[in-house]
Amino acid sequence: MKQRAVLAVLLFSLACQRETQQPTTTTQRRGVKTTTIAAPPVDLAHKKIKEEIPLAPVLIDDKGIGSKVAADGSVSGEQKTFKTTDPISVMMNFHESPHGLQSSIVVTDAKGAKVYRDQRAMNGTKMVTFTIPPKKLKPGHYRVDGYWGGNVAVEYEIEVK
């Protein structure tokens, strides 16, 4: 009877021992071993974290809207007011231009109605300049959106007088 009690206590103490965490080792091709150790959880409730995480990928390196276009097709600055006789040029310099990329601009009036739209195939080119012809827009407030594929790359609020 005593032997059974000692054996039961011994088995119970072995079962209650803490498990130690062993690093996980995996062998990949050519004998390369990788080791992964999970870190214990850390309470960051009262820590100041200054790391910024971008919410969207970088689509554009440079942009501009104005009535004057440089010789290379670029537009510098952000002109917000135009005359009805001015051409309005929107330049976008994309970060990447994958195969099959389509860029476009859409101009909507204050009520949200589409007034003008233009679309181009990029064919590997990173810079595009769209020009809204003079007298195409009547006096009023407009929104100009430039697209990288289906993603909004630039947004402008302009006034035509």
3-state secondary structure the chain: CHHHHHHHHHHHHHHCCCCCCCCEEEECHHHCEEEECCCCCCCCCCCCCCCCCCCCCCCEEEEEEECCCCCCCCCCCECCEECCCCCEEEEEEECCCCCCCEEEEEEEECCCCEEEEEEEECCCCCEEEEEECCCCCCCEEEEEEEEECCEEEEEEEEEEC
101 in a domain, yes or no? yes
CATH code where residue 94 lies: 2.60.40.10
**pLDDT given for residue 24 in this prediction:** 59
Full domain range(s) for residue 105: 60-160
- Rounded to two decimals, the pTM is 0.65
Q: How far is CA 133 from the centre of its chain?
A: 31
23 in a domain, yes or no? no
24 in a domain, yes or no? no
pLDDT for 6 beyond 70: yes
Counted domains in the chain: 1
At 98, the pLDDT band (50, 70, 90 cuts) reads very high
20 in a domain, yes or no? no
User: pLDDT tens digits for 13-24?
Assistant: 766 665 555 555
User: pLDDT tens digits for 25-45?
Assistant: 555 566 666 666 777 888 888
131 in a domain, yes or no? yes
100 in a domain, yes or no? yes
